[in-house]
Amino acid sequence: MDSSVSKRLFQEAQEVIAGGVNSPVRAFKAVHSFPRFIKSAQGARITDADDQEYIDYVLSWGPMILGHSHPQVVQAIQQAAEKGTSYGAPTQGETMMGQLIKEAFPSMELLRMVSSGTEATMSAIRLARGYTGRDYVVKFAGGYHGHVDSLLVEPGSGAAALGIPGAPGIPSSLAGMTLSLPFNDPESFQKAINQYGDAIACVIVEPVPGNMGVVLPQPSFLEKIRALTKEHGIVLIFDEVITGFRLTYGGYQTLSGIMPDLTCLGKIIGGGLPVGVFGGRKEIMNHLAPNGPVYQAGTLSGNPLAMAAGCATLEILRNLSEEYKKLSAITEDLCRFIQKSFTAGGIPVTINQIGSMFTIFFSPTQVTDLSSAQKSDKSLFIRFFTEMLEQGIYMAPSPLEASFLSFAHTQGDIDKTKESIVNTLKKM
C-alpha cells in the first residue's frame, strides 16, 4: 500500500499541531507507524488521503454505531445548521435529547449536557465531592475516564499504551486524593472502604472497562461495589461513555439491573458530534448551580447541532433495539473465527467480547484487570495490526483498546475481515 499522501500530511500537521494529532492515540505510535489521514467515510468504510478504503472497526473510538454518514443523522445536522449553530440560550432540542436519554436510563432522573465525556466525568466527580463534602475519589487501574486531573491516576487508553506512568502536570496533592484499585478484586475494594470509607466522595467505574482492552466484570464485583457505596454514603458513578447505547438501547445498568447514583455518557449519544452528559438522582443533581452551590457550565453545552445529531441517532437506535442481539451475535461469530484461526495457527490469543465490542489479547491467560491485560504480547499485536491494515482492515492502533462493530457492517464486510485474518495469520 502506498501511503505517501498520509505521510506528507502528517509531516505538515506536525509543524502546527503538537505531535501532529489532537488526541495521542491517533498518532499510531503504539504500532510504530504513522496515522492514515481520513478524507471521507460512509457506512462501515473509511477512505484515507491515498484513496485506500478500509473496513472500520474503530468507528471514531466508539461513537459511530450507525456507521458513518447515516443519511438521517446528516440531514438532521444540515437542517439544524440552517437555523443557526449556537445561541447560548436554551432550546427544545436539549429537552428532547434529555427525554430520550432518561427514558433509556431511568436512573438519570435529572441530567446535564456537556460537550465531551471528559467534561461529564469531571463534572460528576466535582458534584459528588460537593454533595458529600468529602475529597477522596476511587477509580480502578486501567479505567479511563477522560483526561480529568483527578482521574489520570493509572489510566487506561492511550496513556497506558504509551507507557506514561504517573501523571506529570497533576499536583501530587490532588493525585493523592485518588485511590486506584485493581478491577475485579472485591477484597482490595473492601480494604479501601475499611480504611477510607467515610472520606470517599465517589467511586467511578466503567462497568465494562473498554480502555484496558475489553474486560468483563466478574459477577458480584459490581454488586459488592454498589452495596458498600450505599452503606457508606459514597456516590457511585458509572462511566458508560463507551457502553451507553453500545450493548443495548440503554447501558450496562439496563442489562445488569445495578443502578448507580450518577451516570456519565458520551460518544454514541452525540452521533459523531461533541456531546457528553452526566445525570442521576434528583437529590444529587439539584446541588448543581443554579439550583445549588456546585458550579458547572459550558458556552456550547447543549449545542443545537449536537442535539440534532444526538436525537436523530437515538431515535434510530430506539427502532433498532431488537437488532442489538443480532449485532452481538455477528460480533461473537467473528471473535470465534479469530480465536479458532489463531489457535490453529499456534498463536495463543484471548478474546474478550461483549455486545459489539471486543479486544484480541495476544496472551494465553485470562484477562480480568490491567495487569493481566498488560501481559498481551505487544510485538505480536503490532505485526497483526500492521498486516490487517495492509489488507484494508482498520482496527484500534493500540493493544489495549476495544474494537467495535456498527449496524452498517455487512456480511460481506465480515467475510472480507475473516479472509484478512487468514491471510494475516499466514504472514505472522
Q: For the window 143-172, what string marks contact with ligand PLP as x by the rule CB under 6 A?
A: -xxx--------------------------
Mark whether 39 is an active-site residue: no
- Residue 31 corresponds to which cell in the numbers above? 504500532
- The CA distance from 328 to 127, in Å, is 35
* Residue 119 or 413 with smaller CB distance to ligand PLP: 119
Q: Is 169 left (phi over 0), alpha (psi -120 to 50) or beta?
A: left
Decide whether 3 or 157 has the Cβ nearer to ligand PLP.
Answer: 157
Least CB distance from residue 423 to ligand PLP, whole Å?
A: 31
- Say which of 54, 131, 136, 144 is annotated catalytic: 144
Region of 113-121, 168-176, 315-323, 338-346 interacting with ligand PLP (CB under 6 A): 113-121
Is residue 267 part of the annotated active site? The answer reads yes
Rounded to whole angstroms, how far apart are CA atoms 49 and 61? 20
* Alpha helices per DSSP H over 133-185: 157-161, 172-175
Query: Rule CB under 6 A: which of 117-136 touch ligand PLP?
Result: 117-118, 121
Sole binder of ligand PLP in the list 48, 94, 154, 206 (CB under 6 A)? 206
239 scored as a contact of ligand PLP (CB under 6 A): yes
Among candidate residues 29, 57, 136, 239, the one labeled active-site is 239
Beta strands in 95-157 (DSSP E): 110-114, 136-140
Answer yes or no whether residue 48 interacts with ligand PLP by CB under 6 A: no
Is 214 a binding residue for ligand PLP by CB under 6 A? The answer is no
Q: Among positive and negative, which fits the CA dihedral 380, 386, 392, 395?
A: positive
Stretch that binds ligand PLP, among 87-95, 128-136, 237-245, 419-427 (CB under 6 A): 237-245
Among 3, 52, 91, 211, binds ligand PLP (CB under 6 A): 211
Q: What pairs with residue 180 in β-bridges?
A: 139
Helices (H), 374-410: 378-390
Tell me the closest approach of the beta carbon of residue 282 to ligand PLP, in angstroms: 24
CB of 346 to ligand PLP, least distance (A): 33
CA dist., res. 277 & res. 211, Å (int):
19
Among 242, 268, 307, 312, binds ligand PLP (CB under 6 A): 242
Note whether 3 binds ligand PLP by CB under 6 A: no
Distance between start and end Cα atoms, the chain: 18
Residue with the closest Cβ to ligand PLP? 117
CB atoms within 10 A of CB 4: 9
241 part of the interface to ligand PLP, by CB under 6 A: yes
Q: Which is nearer to ligand PLP, 280 or 417 (CB)?
A: 280
Give catalytic status of residue 239 as yes or no: yes
Report angle CA 323, 325, 330 to the nearest 5 degrees: 95
Instruction: Determine whether 195 is exposed, middle or buried from the number of CB atoms within 10 Å of its CB (0-12, 13-18, 19+).
Output: exposed
Report the relative pairing of strands 53-56 and 393-394 from DSSP bridges.
parallel
Cell 432550546 maps to which residue?
A: 91
Distance CA 5, CA 48 (A): 9
**Binding residues for ligand PLP (CB under 6 A):** 116-118, 121, 144-146, 206, 210-211, 239, 241-242, 266, 276
Known catalytic residues are: 144, 239, 267
